[in-house]
Amino acid sequence: MPLSPDELAQISALTLAHYQSSAEDFREGTRDHDVSQNIAALLRHIEGEKPWRILDFGCGPGRDLRTFSGLGHEAVGLDGCAEFVAMARADSGCEVWQQSFLELDLPAGHFDGIFANASLFHVPDQELPRVLGELHAALKAGGVLFSSNPRGDNQEGWSGPRYGSYHDLERWRARLTAAGFVELEHYYRPAGLPRDQQPWLASVWRRVG
């Protein structure tokens, strides 16, 4: 059964409330996470003159905004959690937009790259085509989208106070291809472990059209 507008609103509200109430713990728990492999995967595929304009989609407390900005790029953050937005602005000095993933308002053809690290899995599958279409439209022609999500067997639902949608590679490919992206690469994380110990699926995509 499709999720109703009220159910979608509840998914967004309760998931954001969880992050709002645990923002400081989340910041401390993820401060030292090494996502350099993911940042490099996005940047090596972006074309055109630097500095690049990069949207950190689901920027959280701003850890990766600082990295992009420190590399000389024009980084903009986006998060639905008010506490994360305040933290990211203060810690990174970057522009940060407070927007729900299900109610985006993005400028067209604006970004060279979009970094969606551990964020798009919070979008229910029925809404994913629309959200991916909005990200596609926000990229410049030839722009690059990076995503990293917990992989799964195409199930979705509540995990404690958070809602998630967990795709395998084939389903994820189908969704991104239908939205007008072409795959550049994919890999599983953490690197160097057996597949059953790599819960994260990372992939990089170029906007076509």
CATH number at residue 141: 3.40.50.150
Boundaries of domain holding 54:
5-207
pLDDT band at 25 (very low <50, low <70, confident <90, very high): confident
pLDDT at position 97: 98
pLDDT at position 32: 82
Q: Each residue of 49-95: pLDDT tens digit?
A: 999 999 999 999 999 999 999 999 999 999 999 999 999 999 999 99
pLDDT of 138 higher than 90: yes
State the total domains in the chain.
1
pLDDT of 209 higher than 90: no
Residues 6+ apart with CB under 8 A from 122: 15, 58, 101, 162, 163, 164, 165
pLDDT at position 26: 82
pLDDT band at 147 (very low <50, low <70, confident <90, very high): very high
pLDDT of 29 higher than 90: no
